[in-house]
Chain A
Amino acid sequence: MTVNTRVLEWTESDLGVAGTLREVVRAPAPVLSTVGDTVDPTSPDVVRLAADLVATMRVSPGCVGLAAPQVGVGAKVFCVDVSAHPKTRDHHGTFVLCNAEVVSGSRNEKAREGCMSVPDFTGDVKRPSRIVVRGQLPGTGEDVELEAEAFEARALQHEIDHCDGLLFLDRAAGAHAVYARKTYL
């Protein structure tokens, strides 16, 4: 796998604004089931939203990604940072993508997912473990394409799903693949 150095070098300080904390909404909030709007990645509102997402992710225990619908904004913007997670292999550090989509994926793997917006359930979801994602960086709006694998690939797909109005519950691997959560972070 090749790491995209432009994305790897990106940090939230590139945004030039300090993020403020936003409240994380929970299902069944309608915004979580609504396809997010495509955004202009250079707009000041989107840059502020990007900074807020990173700031909110940072203060949430165990959080490795947060999408705009999770803070009540129906927009295709999310942040990810899996660098500190034990299951991570190659990764791109902290970054925010706008209007992202999965271009290709391979090597399906099943894993149990949890989500801050669905605190009472976990569920088994099958997803490709190697993917190519395309999107735009907030601020400059430059197009980027990156390869991701393992835990970062799963996190990216989970967040892109949020931007498309999908929860892991929508991808449950079967009728008996959703579980009541037993331990909370």
Chain B
Amino acid sequence: MGQVTLHAITVLGHDRPGIIAETTGKLAGLGLNLEDSTMTLLRGHFAMMLVCEGDAADSEIESALAPLTADGSLTVTVREVPTEETQAAEGTSWILSVHGGDRPGIVSAVVGVVAGVGGNITDLTTRLAGDLYLLVAEVDLPPAADVAAVERELASVAAELGVGVSLRAAETDEL
């Protein structure tokens, strides 16, 4: 394979039907190939991030997507990014869940424990509904991590915050 040019694109703003269809239609029109993407609603706001591959210049992509931003309801960013090597993790995979009464600092305190042992978060969702705050994360811990100690520290941090925490192995059934 020759030189590959990747572009990271974000689309944020007021949700309505058709945003993804319009965005991907414009990208396809430029001959760009969609690779990884994720989209969700964050407190009702449309939020999409994607990485696509193709020769178009960032400025060309911005022009093509300009109609989306014309009425001010959406913000689009386009940036060329390098190819990242994905490496197989040697450690263990876990699912971290935290929930409890909402208060500032829950996420930073909990993920600080993970970062403190060199753990890496590979997927994260947080939600607030009424007074209930929820965090679910996919966590890779390095081979040397003392999982029991991580669990104890998480429990201690959670107790200070008055929230519940659980760390479960992300086991895969190989079939």
Which A residues have a C-beta under 8 Å from some C-beta of B?
A: 62-65, 87, 111-116, 122, 151, 154-155, 158-159, 168, 176, 179-185
Contacts and interface: CB of A to CB of B under 8 A. Distances in A.
Given A179-B138, A182-B93, A182-B122, A87 B173 contact: yes
**Chain B interface helix/strand/loop/mixed:** strand
A181 B140 CA distance: 12
Contacts of B173: 87, 111-114, 151, 154-155
The 9 closest A-B pairs by CB, nearest first: A158-B175, A182-B89, A114-B172, A62-B174, A122-B172, A114-B174, A112-B172, A113-B173, A155-B175
Given A154-B173, A179-B170, A185-B174, 5 more contacts: A112-B170, A113-B172, A122-B172, A176-B125, A182-B89
Chain A CB count within 10 A is highest, among B173, B174, B175, for B175
Contacts, number: 53
Contacts of B88: 182-184
B86 interface: yes
A151 B123 CA distance: 27
Contacts of A176: 38, 40, 123, 125
A150 B121 CA distance: 30
A183 B93 contact: yes
12 contacts: A87-B173, A112-B170, A112-B173, A114-B174, A116-B174, A151-B173, A158-B175, A176-B123, A179-B123, A181-B172, A182-B140, A183-B93
Interface of B: 38, 40, 86, 88-90, 93, 122-123, 125, 138, 140, 170-175
Contact of B171 (A62, A64, A112, A115): A112
A183 B175 contact: no
A12 to B, nearest CB: 19
A114 to B, nearest CB: 4
Nearest to B136: A176
A168 B172 CA distance: 12
Contacts of B171: 111-112
A77 to B, nearest CB: 16
A154 B175 contact: yes
A183 B174 CA distance: 12
B171 to A, nearest CB: 7
Given A182-B93, A182-B140, A64 B122 contact: no
